[in-house]
Amino acid sequence: MLCAAMLLPGIAAADDPTVEQQYMLELTNRFRADPQAELSNLVNFSSPGVWDTTKSNDASIAYALNFFGTSASDLASQFSSLTAAPPLAWNSALNVSATTYSNLMVTADQQAHALDGLTLDQRIVNGGYSTNWLEAGENLFASALSPFHAHAAFVVDWGDGNGATAGYGNGIQSPAGHRDLLLNGNMKEIGIGFQDISIPGSNATAIGPYVITEHLASQFRFDGSTYYSDAILTGSVFQDTLLADAFYTPGEGLAGEAINVYNDLTGILVASGFSNSAGGYNITLIGLTEGIVYRVEAPDTGLAARTFTLTEHTENYGVSVLVYDNVYESFAVVPEPGSLLLCLVAGLPLLWFRSRRSFC
């Protein structure tokens, strides 16, 4: 059944995501945690690799799958080999560069990379991101109907010609670059920039209502002898009252909630922070290492503490960088049945662009 779309307005401090941006981040991290399960959240199969009568419970996704003639068997086959990735953390500087670029697409009425004549690394550094960047990637979609619609467009990566009418292609972009970027485990931070200027009624390409740029990146620090890419603890604190689905919904986030991280053995506080105005949090775990159990508490929620251990590995960028994977924890406060039903409502996202640093 088709229901009206409703998204609560985003009210955020300058450095915070809006509630819609936090929602899209939560969707992205749900996808990274379990790609196969996320596909089942987006589309319907009657049997493995066979479309159900209704291809998606979301009308805008179903329309795009039909328009591009997306192959159910190819989509299922591609997803069967996908592997999970650590979560992404919100980065305000990446959001600045992403929002700036979305505004540029609106002004130019184009969906294209490098409209500003800059390289991607120049673009993110101009937005305030660290010059100590390691990797960077960009996804664009200039005609998204909603954050959920954009998320599905990047994850399914529909396109590859209009197979429904032209009789060619499998309705999936080749390569599935948007999807690959969202699952790239070397990416650790993201900014999801919606345009914040008016879209001219004369626009033919950047028509929105959401003109979206995603900037993904990772960075390092150097202590004089070793290059590190520190873990970031990310997640959200929310009261599950709107949909009661054990998942973040715009308007459910709780701001100003303390998040404390302890060495679980010694009880020493090793990191702390607060949830932002959208209910999300992102705490860099500087100096924390593999092999130690850490405890996360959100004391004001009354919920039980969580524990985690870090995973480390080495990446070669011309020099060896010791990388600690991000960690995700969320605290859902007192779930209650809600009365507000959220139903989000084809366009084609643009292939991703990626830079990788080399110290050679």
Predicted confidence at residue 51, as pLDDT, reads: 98
Predicted confidence at residue 163, as pLDDT, reads: 53
Please state the rounded mean pLDDT for residues 24-29. 98
Residue 182 has φ and ψ, to the nearest 5°, of -65, -20
pLDDT band at 344 (very low <50, low <70, confident <90, very high): very low
Answer yes or no: is pLDDT of 63 > 60. yes
Percent of the chain with pLDDT over 90: 85
User: Tens digit of pLDDT for each residue in 167-185?
Assistant: 568 999 999 999 999 999 9
Predicted confidence at residue 165, as pLDDT, reads: 53
pLDDT band at 347 (very low <50, low <70, confident <90, very high): low
Task: Determine how many CB atoms are found less than 10 A away from the CB of residue 76.
Answer: 18
Please state the rounded mean pLDDT for residues 232-259. 96
Quote the CA–CA distance of 277 and 100 in Å, as a whole number: 21
**What is the C-alpha end-to-end distance of the chain, expressed in Å?**
56
More confident residue, 209 or 359: 209
User: Tens digit of pLDDT for each residue in 317-334?
Assistant: 999 999 999 999 999 987
The dihedral through the CA atoms of 260, 277, 144, 344 has a sign that is positive
pTM: predicted TM-score of the whole model, two decimal places: 0.89
Predicted confidence at residue 15, as pLDDT, reads: 78
Quote the CA–CA distance of 120 and 113 in Å, as a whole number: 9
* Residue 117: DSSP 8-state: S
DSSP string, 26-76: HHHHHHHH-HHHHHHHH--EEETTEE-SSS-SSHHHHHHHHHHT--HHHHH
Task: State the Cα angle at 191 between 141 and 338, rounded to 5°.
Answer: 85
| 3-state DSSP assignment of residue 289 | coil
User: Tens digit of pLDDT for each residue in 102-149?
Assistant: 999 999 999 999 999 999 999 999 999 999 999 999 999 999 999 999
Answer yes or no: is pLDDT of 313 > 50. yes
Answer yes or no: is pLDDT of 271 > 70. yes
Tokens of 228: 């590190």
Predicted confidence at residue 339, as pLDDT, reads: 37
Least confidently predicted of 7-16, 185-194, 259-268, 320-329: 7-16
Q: Which residues contact 144 (CB under 8 A, 6 or more apart)?
A: 150, 153, 208, 209, 210, 211, 212, 347, 349
Closest listed residue to residue 298, CA positions, set 276, 272, 319: 272
Predicted confidence at residue 3, as pLDDT, reads: 27
More confident residue, 216 or 10: 216
Tokens of 142: 């200039």
Predicted confidence at residue 356, as pLDDT, reads: 74
Write down the mean pLDDT value for the chain: 90
More confident residue, 166 or 292: 292
Predicted confidence at residue 149, as pLDDT, reads: 98
Quote the CA–CA distance of 275 and 105 in Å, as a whole number: 31
8 Å CB contact between 229 and 218:
yes
* Residue 246: DSSP 8-state: S
Please state the rounded mean pLDDT for residues 225-246. 96
